[in-house]
Amino acid sequence: MTDRVERLTNLLALLLETREPLSLVQIAGQMESQYPDGQSARRAAFERDKAALRDIGVPIEQEIVPGGEYAGQTRYWIDRGRYELRGLELDDDEARALQVAMAATRPGSTSGQEALWKLGAGALDRSAAISAVLPDLPELPVLREAVAQRVAVTFGYRDVAREVDPWGLLLRDGFWYLVGFDHARGERRTYRIDRIEGEVSMIAGRTFERPDGFDPRDALPADPKQIGAVDEVPTARVRIDAPRAAAAEADLGEARVAIRHPDGAIDVDVPCANLPAFRSWLIGFLEHAEVIEPADVRDHVIAWLESVAS
Amino acid sequence: MTPRPKPRPAEERLRRLLVMLPWLMERGEVPVSEVAARFALTEDEVVLDLELIAMCGLPPFVDELIDVFVDDGVIVVGVPRLFTRPLRLNSVEAFELLASGRAAMELPGADEQGPLARGLAKLATALGEDDTAGVRIDLDRPPLLDRLAAAATASEELLIGYWSASRDETTERRIVPRQVFADRGEWYVSADDDRSGTVRTFRADRVLSAEGTGRIVAPSDAPLPTPGAWFDDESVRRAVIRLAPAARWVIERYPVDQVSPPNRRGWVTVRVPVASEQWLVRTLLRLGPDAELVEPAEWRTDVAAAAGLVLARYRRS
């Protein structure tokens, strides 16, 4: 009995080098006694090998003979163009830079390590003095592919099945967003990718054009408090006590400061179109901040706090 | 006696061989030890797998298609005919490389014209990305972050003003930054902290001032927290919270031990580590009617009291 690695390698070599698609009978014949003789045992062993090769990323093509003596027979081969990594000639320093980047953002990733090896880079270092944790979501790889290939996708979001032309992906404020054109709504929409329900699938053949100059950063206001704002941006005036004033000003920018009080407190004008985001920001100050106006925003905050205080 | 290593699955061995062979073929001769270190294998595993692959080939299996042998601790690869190029990247690998590279370009000290930028541009082209709009990463940095990162690289001691959310006060402390990282939308700095005598992790946006003391201090050997898992320690207390559908973001943003399936109203029950009670209080105030604290019950009074304190301010004016 041949070692399994040896048999897998020989099968891979055979399917890569063959000039024409091969049936299982031909494969077993060429590989001499490596597959069992019995028909069903042979089929089972071959299916297992085929699955193993596909699992490690080998694209195995198959066709069914349409007519003639062997009509209905399945034949297999590997298209070298689809098998090999091509068109990516990295210089050593470039491969090493990607290795450092991976160590700084996905230090423990086995798929990241695999990718680096394919590029000719080395083992992934596990610590970096300066790093960023990238949230990992299973939907991201297929969404990226769809964005690059300009193919529409379908997925569930807020209990509704969506069909979307994916224009771009954005990581901001620790969350991944998809920006795209929603077919049913006929307009551009932004989706939080972690809120996508179920699988994302590409809709074969449904390609699209992306608007010129598109940038996902423009689709999403940098400040979550502005999400939903149209032209006139509504603002609320908020008083912030002296101990927190400097940090608030650094965060908001000097331009938002409306009044400076003698005791060091400041009044700032802050966008409040996205009320939940505004409220969340405000509550971060606890009793060191207070909405002065407008009255409806002030009342909303009071009602919100009362629901917790009772 | 050392335990016998676990047998490695055939898929994993082949996967490793398929990245190892093209690399070896480009070099011709490489010490076994170097190959083992590079591909995270033992030297025995490398030799075993390469000796096996040398027997593989095409029918009638007389010609050596993969000409490789080990001679005196050195691997020698002859004229290659098979497996000269690595397998293409799968979609997960492609995404991870691109996202990692783009994220690293947003880190302090990134060089717009450097090897990362060049390698990333080649990668993007090979993956069919015709511009950079397809995958964008924003890691907005607080004003003092670059200063903190530079100090971490140089082991420089800093005098910082820090606002502590849990005690609601600003303190001055001497720190030696050791690592700087972004996690879940915030930047942090882990540093040897003079005041507590241990490693502490600070929110970078709460560092209100930072000045070099002019001293370079050898970093301590105290272990650093792991970015991504650092506020998730087992020794930390736990709370159980019920969350409405509108509050589900909590599950994505913070580490959680357990999430129950949603009930008929779509509410879920989660168990979360609570490193600071102040954090929990603030989070529950933010969630308002969309969350209920189940346990520990005694914290409910603290949450209500914190809300009452803020309300008192509105009733006064």
pLDDT one-digit tens code per residue, B268-280: 999 988 877 788 8
Q: For chain B, say whether A224 makes contact (Cβ under 8 Å).
A: no
As a whole number, mean pLDDT of residues A114-141 equals: 88
Which residues between 37 and 76 in chain A have a beta carbon less than 8 angstroms from any beta carbon of chain B? 52, 55-59
For residue range A183-229, list pLDDT tens digits in order: 988 888 889 898 898 899 999 999 999 998 899 988 776 666 655 54
Q: How far apart are CA B137 and CA B135, in angstroms?
A: 7
Q: Is A7 exposed, middle or buried (0-12, 13-18, 19+ CB in 10 A)?
A: buried
Q: Which residues of B touch A246 (CB under 8 A)?
A: 208
CB A150: neighbour CB atoms within 10 A?
17
Cβ of A145 within 8 Å of Cβ of B308? The answer is: no
> Who among B89, B170, B248 is closest to A85 (CB)?
B89
CA distance B6 to chain A (A): 16
The CATH number fitting domain B10-77, selected from 2.40.128, 1.10.10, 1.10.8, 3.30.2130: 1.10.10
What pTM value is reported for the model? Answer: 0.79
Q: How far apart are CA B59 and CA B116, in angstroms?
A: 44
List the CATH code of the domain at A224-309: 3.30.70
Domain positions in chain B are: 10-77, 90-139, 145-216, 237-316
Cβ of B104 within 8 Å of Cβ of A101? The answer is: yes
As a whole number, mean pLDDT of residues A257-284 equals: 90
| pLDDT score for A276 | 86
| pLDDT score for A199 | 93
Say yes or no to pLDDT of B233 above 70: no
- What are the residue ranges of CATH 3.30.70 in chain A? 224-309
Edge-to-edge strands, sheet with B258-259: B258-259, B268-274, B237-243, B291-295
For residue range A219-270, list pLDDT tens digits in order: 776 666 655 544 556 889 999 999 888 888 888 888 889 999 999 999 999 9
CA distance B176 to chain A (A): 13
As a whole number, mean pLDDT of residues A124-128 equals: 77
| pLDDT score for B192 | 93
Task: Say which residue the tokens 């779509």 belong to.
Answer: B266
Residue B205 dihedral angles phi and psi, to the nearest 5°: -75, -10
Residue in B85, B92, B301, B302 to test binding to A, most A beta-carbons within 10 Å: B92
Q: Which residues of B touch A14 (CB under 8 A)?
A: 58-59
The domain over range B237-316 is classified in CATH as 3.30.70: yes
Residue B159 dihedral angles phi and psi, to the nearest 5°: -105, 115
Say yes or no to pLDDT of B196 above 60: yes
Say yes or no to pLDDT of B61 above 70: no
Cβ of A134 within 8 Å of Cβ of B89? The answer is: no
Cβ of B208 within 8 Å of Cβ of A246? The answer is: yes
- What are the residue ranges of CATH 2.30.30 in chain A? 140-219
Among chain A residues, CA nearest to B57: A10
Q: Where are the strands (E) in B150-267, listed by range?
A: 156-164, 169-183, 186-193, 198-203, 207-216, 237-243, 258-259
Among chain B residues, CA nearest to A148: B129
Residue B41 dihedral angles phi and psi, to the nearest 5°: -130, 165
Class of domain A140-219: mainly beta
| pLDDT score for B92 | 92
User: What is A4-83's CATH topology?
Assistant: Arc Repressor Mutant, subunit A (1.10.10)
As a whole number, mean pLDDT of residues B215-237 equals: 77
ipTM of the prediction: 0.79
- Among residues B114, B107, B162, B105, the alpha carbon closest in space to that of B135 is found at B105
- Chain pair A-B, CB pairs under 8 angstroms: 342
Q: What percent of chain A has pLDDT over 70?
A: 95
- Among residues B312, B278, B281, B283, the alpha carbon closest in space to that of B169 is found at B278
Residue in B8, B19, B276 to test binding to A, most A beta-carbons within 10 Å: B19
Residue in A86, A118, A170, A304 to test binding to B, most B beta-carbons within 10 Å: A118
Residue in A239, A305, A307 to test binding to B, most B beta-carbons within 10 Å: A305
Give me B312's structure tokens: 């008192």
Say yes or no to pLDDT of B258 above 90: no
- What are the residue ranges of CATH 1.10.10.10 in chain A? 4-83
| pLDDT score for A64 | 93
Q: How confident is the model at residue A87 (pLDDT cuts 50, 70, 90)?
A: confident
Cβ of A171 within 8 Å of Cβ of B137? The answer is: yes
| pLDDT score for A224 | 60
Q: Which residues of A touch B88 (CB under 8 A)?
A: 57, 59, 82-86
List the CATH code of the domain at B145-216: 2.30.30
CA distance A192 to chain B (A): 10
Say yes or no to pLDDT of A105 above 80: yes
How is A240-285 classified by DSSP, letter by letter? E-HHHHHHHHHHH-GGGEEEE-TTS-EEEEEE-SSHHHHHHHHHTT
